[in-house]
Amino acid sequence: MKFDKLLQDSLQDFDANDHQSNSANTPLREDAFDLTDQEKINRIEKDVSNILETLGMDMTDDSLRGTPKRVAKMFVQEIFGGLNPAKSPKLSTFENKYKYGHMLVEKNITLYSTCEHHLLPIVGKAHVAYISNGTVIGLSKMNRIVDFFAKRPQVQERLTRQVVHMLQGALETKDVACVIDAKHLCVNSRGIRDVDCSTVTAEFGGAFSKPEVKKEFLEYIRLETAF
């Protein structure tokens, strides 16, 4: 399947046949994967230590001594782990044998990301939907797609498009949509400090750009969850 090859391409984040824009790509250098994870951790550990020392922290204190290494491992292995193409979710698809022809919606997907402008958290929910073109995908794979792209320095607009493009490639259909509603701590906890505001972004592909289909999707999102 053409998208399986795409997942191995470390610098591509969307269907190679989609030439709309490069804005869905995470800005990465060509040598982004030359260093091993451990080499990156070693470098970041020194940088974090320098930052804390510059701020005046006593790095010999028991509470702070291990902080640079903990932060470095967190950056590489956890909150920015989605930069590593080896962690791309495996997106096996299956024949739609039950002939389900309506949209499938996976809503309230918990999202933790990091704003690339201030490196502060983005916390929210993603709602993803598609209409089968003959194939279906496991429900958890949609959660994994959101998590994969969220775990990198991000802007919400790009994240929304990346989720849609990857699912479009896996299912070989344009009929995919994503809505994300999230709080940005760079707005909520600093600057204007508006604790109540959130940011909503949306990408509607294929049939979801039709007003009646878009309306149906948004109505599904508003439904109360069963449990």
pLDDT digit string, tens, across residues 123-156 = 999 999 999 999 999 999 999 999 999 999 999 9
Residue with tokens 């990301």: 113
Hunting for tokens 């983005």 — which residue is that? Answer: 122
Residue 58 · residue 94 · CB < 8 Å = no
Global pTM reads: 0.89
Reduce the secondary structure of 179-193 to three states and give it as a string. Answer: EEEEEEHHHHCCCCC
Spatial separation of the C-alpha atoms in residues 111 and 183, rounded to whole Å: 10
The CATH number assigned to the domain with range 91-222 reads 3.30.1130.10
CA 18 – CA 8 distance, rounded (Å): 17
Those residues with Cβ within 8 angstroms of residue 49's Cβ, 6 or more apart along the chain or in another chain: 59, 68
Q: Which residues contact residue 128 at a Cβ distance below 8 angstroms, ignoring those fewer than 6 apart? A: 105, 106, 107, 109, 142, 145, 146, 163, 167, 176, 177, 178
Which CATH number is associated with domain 37-83? 1.10.286.10
Q: What residues of the chain score a pLDDT lower than 50?
A: 1-21
**What pLDDT score does 225 carry?**
82
For residue 22, the model assigns a pLDDT of 55
Of 110, 127, 42, 101, nearest to 76 by C-alpha is: 42
Element at 42 (helix H, strand E): helix 37-54
Nearest-angstrom CA–CA distance, 155 and 203: 14
Read off the tokens for 88: 């791309």
Ranges in the chain annotated CATH 1.10.286.10: 37-83
State the catalytic residues.
Answer: 115-118, 156, 184, 186
List where CATH 3.30.1130.10 sits in the chain: 91-222
